[in-house]
Chain A
């Protein structure tokens, strides 16, 4: 049993290290993990779930807004701003970066640029979502095996 725990833990560590290395997550995520304690055992998961929900909603709004004839760039900017905020809060670095670029296009009122950025954001978001979900699964496995989540 011990060996399984250690193995799973190593796997988890490797996986999350790769996430950091590839820029999917940044330090902020580590901070979130630090906030998790006995009084708040599922903090990270809750926050991340909220992020997923929020972002999905925002992305659908963005699609709707950008598909209109007269694009309301102010509204688009507001949404992107929100997304940027959320992603930076949990440390989804790549999403955040794309959002910044997205905002510049909004300022320029560049419809094409916005559409392109939207695609990018959607892409990045789905990537990070998958990765995070995988990581959580691994964590569950470790916990189920009787181990504890290693801290960075």
Chain B
């Protein structure tokens, strides 16, 4: 106890001081103990505080400090060694913890400071976002308005409704006092007040379009603020104090033609309407940017809606027009079909019914001519015959033409003498030409084949028609006929662009040019020449044909894979008719359809016709027998019949020739011939019909030919005559001369 470490109070009078120290220590300890409690309490309350470990440490530090001070209380008086130990332990611990805490704080405090800066940063960010939100909200508002407006505007295709709706909706959305639309007039010189919001039917105010304010608005696609006193804005009676702000925007009026591929509408459109919007007066409202943008968008939408409406109107109109046209075309087509049917029916009737009476007339007239007649009667009968012959030709022509058009006409292809044909044409036309004192020349090129394969009769018809026309329309001078083989260069004619001749080994193209020195043809008449029944004015006087001739020629030429055209240098300068037809070359075995040699004089005639089936009709037994004997002698296989009915019953397509004795008076004969014609519709199958007659009258012969006979033989018939008749018949299928 002598060396006790206890602190000895130095000033016994300082008990007061000690007491105060005692109390202070107590309170310090209390505070020291309560602070961690508070900390723990608040930490428990807030879950987010990140530094719990620090708090624990701090708490421990404070608790230990408090403990130290608390234990200090006991050291004021005499205390035992235990207390001293405890005191020491406490102090040591406290020292450790406080050092650790101090070290920890070095790390912690910068972190804590940065938290503060982050908080500041976040606050700024939040403020910014708030601002932006406000903006977006405004924009979205605007967008909604625009969509709604657009929807209203585009929900109709009627122009007036569109414009009306625009104004109403704009007025509603933007709470406008007045909204007006000025449309350009038709003349384009003025703007007329067409629609307003408040007045239902605005009276037609107009302003000239060249005002500076209007030009200013039209020159830009943005909304332009204009003065409330400008003429376009003076819509309300003045009397208010402060008119509201007025803006104007242009509305393009688009047309379909405005939309080019590479241009944008702004560049090409010319017409604008003017939309004027007025804010309510006496309000302090101003035009906001988003409202102006809204107006611009609406103006564009209106333009589009209007153009749609216009397009729709046009397309409806076009569709109505098309429907009308369709109806009209349908009607026309039905009418045309009816007409064609009627024509076909008519032709079908004409084909048979008209020919039969014609034959009767001709045959009977010619028979009448044979009898004893007074001169007057003879004249009358001749006139009847002539007229009926003309009529028969006309009927045949017309029927030919319609058969040509129907495509039912077939060419009779056979071998024929080409040179001979030309000479024949010359012979036929020569008399007429010499009467008119015209010369006729024929020039056949040296490479023109002597024989050709084609339809001789129709080629002759073409030639006669063409040369006949040349003679008909020439008053003086002459006709020259040139025929040659067309070479490939001359085959393609620039005047006939549709004609594509294809030369081949088996065929050649015959080209014939008939030049006359006659009245010529004016260029505008040339295309009409080949049309049926068309005759130009200048020709009508001289012509007596039906106008069918050239049309028929053209059809025949076309059937022969050829082409025909006329050239003329003009009226009074003559005319050249040129045609080219395709003919087969002779000398090929597949072309020789005939068994018998043709008729050039050098070749001998066949003396026998082995097995040739013929039919002999004669009601006179003796004469029948004689004819039969004659034919049998020539090698034929003869069947005899004695009446017309029997003849019709027996005749078949095996019989090549039917010999009919026509000296029996009566109409049996031609009726039989007609029936035979009918029975064998194809010309190839039909037997040739030859009339045996004792009459020498030429007229009769022609009439028999018209009735449908292929030849006429005068009785009595000698063997030689019969032989030559048969030869010629089988060669040419017709007897050109009376034998």
In the complex, what distance in Å separates the CA atom of A24 from the CA atom of B345? Answer: 61
Interface size on A, residues (CB 8 A): 23
Task: Report chain B residues within 8 Å CB of A54.
Answer: 621-622
Residue of chain A at shortest CB distance from B633: A35
Residue of chain B at shortest CB distance from A52: B622
Q: Given known contacts A35-B629, A40-B632, is B719 in contact with A86 (CB within 8 Å)?
A: no
Kindly state whether residue B623 has any CB partner on chain A within 8 Å.
yes
Residue of chain B at shortest CB distance from A82: B620
Contact B622 A34 (CB under 8 A): no
Residue of chain A at shortest CB distance from B626: A89
Interface size on B, residues (CB 8 A): 22
Task: Report chain B residues within 8 Å CB of A90.
Answer: 622, 626
Kindly state whether residue B630 has any CB partner on chain A within 8 Å.
yes
Residue of chain B at shortest CB distance from A48: B622
In the complex, what distance in Å separates the CA atom of A91 from the CA atom of B665? Answer: 22
Kindly state whether residue B351 has any CB partner on chain A within 8 Å.
no
Contact B694 A88 (CB under 8 A): yes
Task: Report chain B residues within 8 Å CB of A91.
Answer: 716
Contact A85 B716 (CB under 8 A): no
Contact B629 A43 (CB under 8 A): yes
Kindly state whether residue A46 has any CB partner on chain B within 8 Å.
yes
Kindly state whether residue A145 has any CB partner on chain B within 8 Å.
no
Task: Report chain B residues within 8 Å CB of A89.
Answer: 620, 622-623, 625-627, 715-716
Residue of chain B at shortest CB distance from A85: B620
Kindly state whether residue B307 has any CB partner on chain A within 8 Å.
no
Kindly state whether residue A32 has any CB partner on chain B within 8 Å.
yes
In the complex, what distance in Å separates the CA atom of A51 from the CA atom of B619? Answer: 14
- Tell which of A35, A50, A51, A91 has the most Cβ of chain B within 10 Å: A35
Task: Report chain A residues within 8 Å CB of B718.
Answer: 27, 31
Task: Report chain B residues within 8 Å CB of A34.
Answer: 633, 719
Kindly state whether residue A81 has any CB partner on chain B within 8 Å.
yes
Task: Report chain A residues within 8 Å CB of B632.
Answer: 35, 39-40
* Cβ < 8 Å to A, chain B residues 325-357: none
Kindly state whether residue A28 has any CB partner on chain B within 8 Å.
yes
Q: Given known contacts A31-B719, A34-B719, is B622 in contact with A86 (CB within 8 Å)?
A: yes
Contact B623 A85 (CB under 8 A): yes
Kindly state whether residue B663 has any CB partner on chain A within 8 Å.
yes
Q: Given known contacts A35-B633, A82-B620, is B625 in contact with A47 (CB within 8 Å)?
A: yes
29 cross-chain CB contacts under 8 A: A27-B716, A31-B718, A32-B626, A35-B629, A35-B630, A37-B633, A39-B632, A40-B633, A43-B629, A46-B625, A50-B625, A51-B622, A54-B621, A54-B622, A81-B665, A85-B620, A85-B622, A85-B661, A85-B663, A86-B620, A86-B621, A86-B622, A88-B694, A89-B620, A89-B622, A89-B716, A90-B622, A90-B626, A91-B716
Can you name 16 extra interface pairs (CB under 8 A) apart from A27-B716, A85-B661, A86-B622? A31-B630, A32-B626, A35-B633, A37-B633, A47-B625, A50-B622, A54-B621, A81-B663, A82-B620, A85-B622, A86-B623, A88-B623, A88-B715, A89-B623, A90-B622, A90-B626
Please give the residue numbers on chain B whose beta carbons come within 8 Å of chain A beta carbons, in ascending order: 619-623, 625-627, 629-630, 632-633, 661, 663-665, 694, 715-719
